Chains A and B, each alone.
Chain A
Amino acid sequence: MTDPTTRRGFFVAAIYGIGAAISAALGLPALAYLLLPPKTRKDDEWVEAGDVTKLAVNSPVELTFRRTRTDGWKVTSEKSTAWAVKQPDGSIVAFGPQCTHLGCAYHWEEGKTDFLCPCHNSVFSIDGKVVSGPAPRPLDRYQTKIDGSKLLLGRLLTSSEIQG
């Protein structure tokens, strides 16, 4: 028989050790399960948003289109919009429809030639830059591609993502 105090120490160490091992074996997979993103199943698809020939240079138009969104276990088709501005060189800039401050829908002020958000009065210029108001960054932009006369939109990127 070993010394009772060491034996007691062994019991206690084993209890804590096993407790820690089981907690880790359950806790680590739980963290991975909750924190790691789902395996990507679909590449971002390009969606057709409208006809570029109908756009006039420097005259923003709100285009409405449908895009599919993978939302957890559901793939939904939802209505989406973009503010498209035709550039003098014929290329298209398409802004995401939400103000970069708190996500309200902004609109084009015909008379003032600015984008105005009615929630907290953020104002953006025609190239998406913040003119005034609380908006922290320029308007987000969709990736764009032109196929013949069709405008195709890809992912929505923030200005820092575009530069980076």
Chain B
Amino acid sequence: MKRTIADVADWLDHRTGIQTAIRQFLYEEIPASSGWHQIFGSVAVFLFLTQAFTGALLAFNYAPTPGDAYNSLRYILTELTCGRLIRGLHHWGASMMIVVVVLHMVQVFLYGAYKKPREATWMVGVVLLLLTLAYGLTGYLLPWDNRAYWGTVVTTKIAGQAPLLGPYAQRLMGADGGLVGVVTFARFYGLHVLLLPPATLLLIAIHIYLVRKHGVAPQPGDEARPKQQFYPRQVFKDTLAIFAAFAILFTLAVVARVPLEQLADPTDTAYTPRPEWYFLFLFQFLKLFPGALEVIGSVVLPGLAVLAIILVPFLDRTRMIQVTKRTFAGAFVLLAAVAWTGLTAAAVKSTPKQDRALAIDYSAPTDWMQLTPEEMAGVAYFREENCLSCHQVGDHGNKVGPDLTQTSIHKDAAWMIAHFKRPAAMRPGSSMPPIQLADAQLNSLAAFLLKLTPANASALENAPDYAAQGALVYTANKCSGCHTVNGAGTDFGPPLNGLVKRHPRDWIEAHFADPQKLVPTSLMPAYKLPPRDLNNLTSYLLALPE
């Protein structure tokens, strides 16, 4: 068997030279000083390949047009097995790639590995960093939620500020006059999946070729020491680093939920866009340049900074010295790190708590938004009475009692209420304890249970607590006597769906306390609600769909 494999390998090598090539690649000699500090390049290549893989998987179930993009992403997240994991890997992989590429660059900078004859290797590397950022910028738009849309509006406006080239840059992005739409989307998608990946592959190939051509950069003193081979010791170190990076990435993808906000809404005037974390420093930097000076902060200085980074090998032409003696380079990196951290921290601090958005998780089913307040109050009673300790609903709960999503056990509301009060009387032999709630409350519970199907069971688990509690306040105060929510109630007062578009939270809370103060013609009585109830009710009303 072993012989046959060797024969096949020999045959293949004669025709293609593949074995020889791999051997040459692996047994390349590297300086004695090589070691753990040189792992970042390999990790970056690994992350790039992972991004390509998960990106292709996402593309298999993704429709690259606005609207459909959002729906297909929700389909991936809510209906496909492992869809959430794969999107998580792609999302966090992007962030990790930025981190690793920057660390790689910092290492090369600190060690002075860009010096003659490795200037071209450095410059290609800087272009690869810019490409990595371009992935971040273009990929940000692709979920087509509010975050994506408004983030890109800002991006294209900044591009428009570039001296002379601004309007052309905007046209190139498909955002003439800063208007983000279908053309912008197509351009960003095309860049993200068609142009950037082959460009990256090509530049990685050139980058690695150059590294091989000039050899791994030695440290002073290496000449006197015997060289080591790349394989297996350094490959082992690289692999271990890749494994650590992958473990972090996988954990993030499983544990940290990637947000998905509501569908992009160009008419949402209250949305505060923020860029991805790695662009926050630029965002904050911009604030230092008010008025006409803005273009300096948005385009001129960042442009000059990139140029300076590209030209580093020509700005520093000193001889190679030990990394520990490169105090100026070390101080420079430290200063840059402090500036970056300061700007990012300031940006985070200045970000308003988006309490308007209420953190509705659109990456999970949102069928709960379609429930009437009465049914929603039923969700609250369902949770309070801890029905899941005996009953199964979807994938959750215990199997002591029947599965509540089965239509066969759904009788009419009157039967169910009688059953709640005296379970054994309606179903002989039932060991269910009676539910101690008032009739109106049992009515809510029955209304909710009648709505329950296998299809929406998982969605109802996702109903946030504020919505269930808010609906309790809503039903207790008989709001449906004057208002409608999701088609239920009376249209004596204004319908409450879409309230989020009409009034801010402060206004709504003030309006409860004294309606006539804000709307003199209002017939609504004042409601002095305890702060918790007021908060839940307002949050619930703001979460209602349009």
> CB of B265 within 8 A of chain A?
no
Say yes or no for B348: interface residue by CB 8 A criterion.
Answer: no
A1 contacts the other chain (CB 8 A)? no
Closest to B58 in A: A33
| Contact A18–B455 (Cβ < 8 Å) | no
Among B74, B78, B80, B233, find the residue whose CB has the most chain A CB atoms closer than 10 A. Answer: B80
Q: A18-B239, A25-B250 are in contact. Are A34 and B57 (CB under 8 A)?
A: yes
Interchain CB contact under 8 A, B86 and A33: yes
* CB-based contact A30/B57 at 8 Å: yes
Interface hub of A8, A26, A36 (most chain B Cβ within 10 A): A26
Whether the pair B74, A33 counts as a contact (CB closer than 8 A) is: no
List the A side residues contacting B81 at CB < 8 Å: 32-33, 36, 39
What residue in chain A is nearest B246 (Cβ atoms)? A22
B232 CB-CB contact with A under 8 Å: yes
A8 to B26, CA, bound (A): 14
**Pair A72/B53 contact, Cβ less than 8 Å:** no
> CA–CA, A90 to B84, complex, Å?
51
Among the listed stretches A9-17, A51-59, A121-129, A136-144, which one makes contact with chain B, having 4 or more residues with CB under 8 Å of it? A9-17
Is A72 touching B455 in the complex (CB atoms < 8 A)? Answer: no
Pair A30/B86 contact, Cβ less than 8 Å: yes
- Chain B residues near A15 (CB-CB < 8 A): 232, 235-236, 239
Complex contact A73–B235 (CB within 8 A): no
Question: Nearest Cβ in chain A — how far from B80, in angstroms?
Answer: 6
Nearest A residue to B238 via CB reads A15
Q: Please indicate the chain B residues that have their CB under 8 angstroms from the CB of A12 in the complex.
A: 232
Given the interface pairs A25-B250, A33-B80, the reply to whether A73 lies near B68 with Cβ below 8 Å is yes
- Chain B: minimal CB distance from A42 (Å): 6
Which listed residue, A22, A29, A36, A39, touches B86 by the CB 8 Å rule?
A29
Alpha-carbon distance A21/B82, docked complex (angstroms): 18
Give chain A nearest CB distance to B369 CB in angstroms.
16
Cα A72 to Cα B60 in complex, Å, equals 11
Hey, which chain B residues are within 8 Å of A30, CB to CB?
53, 57, 82, 86
Within 8 A of B (CB), among A105-125: none
Chain B contacts for A26, CB-based, 8 A: 50, 53-54, 89
Enumerate B228-246 residues with CB–CB distance to A below 8 Å. 232-233, 235-236, 239-240, 242-243, 246
A8 to B232, CA, bound (A): 7
Indicate whether B72 reaches chain A with its CB closer than 8 angstroms: yes
Are B236 and A73 in contact, CB atoms less than 8 angstroms apart?
A: no
Contacts of A88 in B (CB 8 A): none
A79 within 8 A of B: no
Secondary structure dominating the interface of A: helix
Chain B 79-100, CB-CB to A under 8 Å as 1, else 0, gives: 1111101100100000000000
Interchain CB contact (< 8 A) of B240 among A8, A14, A36, A42: A14
- Among A14, A15, A19, max chain B CB count under 10 A is at A15
Partner of A41, one of B61, B79, B232: B79
- The one of B57, B74, B89, B243 that contacts A21, using a Cβ cutoff of 8 Å: B243
* A25, A42, A73: the one within 8 Å of B72 (CB): A73
B60 & A34 in contact (Cβ 8 Å cutoff): yes
Is there contact, CB below 8 Å, between A38 and B250?
no
Distance in angstroms between the alpha carbons of A43 and B408 in the assembled complex: 14
State A44–B246 Cα separation when bound (angstroms): 42
- Kindly state the separation between the CA atoms of A42 and B79 in the bound complex, as whole angstroms: 12
Chain B residues positioned under 8 Å from A25 (CB to CB): 246, 250
A138 to B382, CA, bound (A): 50
Contact with A along B369-397 (1 / 0, CB 8 A): 00000000000000000000000000000
Q: Quick check: is B133 within 8 A (CB to CB) of the other chain?
A: no
State in angstroms the CA–CA spacing of A72 and B71 once bound together: 10
A18 touches B53 (CB 8 A): no
Q: Could you say which residues of chain B place their CB within 8 Å of the CB of A33?
A: 57, 80-83, 85-86
Which residue of the partner chain, among B54, B236, B455, contacts A11 with CB atoms under 8 Å? B236
Cα(A40)–Cα(B454), bound, Å: 9
Contact B60 A73 (CB under 8 A): no
List 7 additional contacts besides A14-B236, A72-B61; criterion CB under 8 Å.
Answer: A11-B236, A14-B240, A22-B246, A30-B82, A30-B86, A34-B60, A43-B454
A residues in contact (CB < 8 Å) with B? 8, 11-12, 14-15, 18-19, 21-22, 25-26, 29-30, 32-34, 36, 38-43, 72-74
Query: Could you pull out 17 A-B pairs where Cβ atoms are within 8 angstroms?
Result: A11-B235, A14-B240, A29-B85, A30-B57, A32-B82, A34-B60, A36-B80, A36-B81, A39-B80, A39-B81, A40-B454, A40-B455, A41-B79, A43-B453, A72-B72, A73-B61, A73-B71
6 closest A-B pairs by beta carbon, nearest first, are A73-B75, A11-B232, A29-B82, A11-B236, A38-B79, A33-B82
